[in-house]
Amino acid sequence: MSGPQVGPVFAFTAKHAATARFYADVVGLAAGTGDGDASWLKAENADVVFHAPDDRETPAEVRGQTGFVVWFGVDDVRAAFDKAKAAKAVVGEFEGDYFFARDPEGRYVGIHANEEHGHGHDHEH
């Protein structure tokens, strides 16, 4: 598969374990990996991840929102970063295989390299 793909969907909450249980029990998302700072769940086409609000791998302004952060996988993440930077939409730094941006209405999104384009980063932090 080539082209844009929806990647992990993030939400930040101090109740990430309880919130993950809700989505597992009510929606039926399958259990994924988890640690003290995040709970990963599996949907058919994407992961849903509940992070602690003090997650240090995510810029403060991104992790401070109450909604979801949708990730998009792209074939050329560097080109996407350059376009976002030119549009003054970049949040934080380019991390080599991902970055955060804001759309024109202020929603935060994550943009990462598609897995088949080999970037050496494990998204299950």
pLDDT digits (tens, 9 = 90+) for 89-105: 999 999 999 999 998 77
Question: Are 99 and 81 a contacting pair, CB within 8 Å?
Answer: yes
pTM of the model: 0.72
Structural domain count, the chain = 1
Contacts of residue 24, Cβ cutoff 8 Å, sequence gap at least 6: 30, 31, 41
Average pLDDT along the chain: 83
Q: Which residue range is the domain that position 24 belongs to?
A: 5-116
pLDDT digits (tens, 9 = 90+) for 69-78: 899 899 999 9
The reply to whether 31 falls in a domain is yes
CA end-to-end distance (rounded Å), the chain: 24
State the pairing for strand pair 108-113/68-74.
parallel
The reply to whether 84 falls in a domain is yes
SS3 110: strand
CATH of the domain at 15: 3.10.180.10
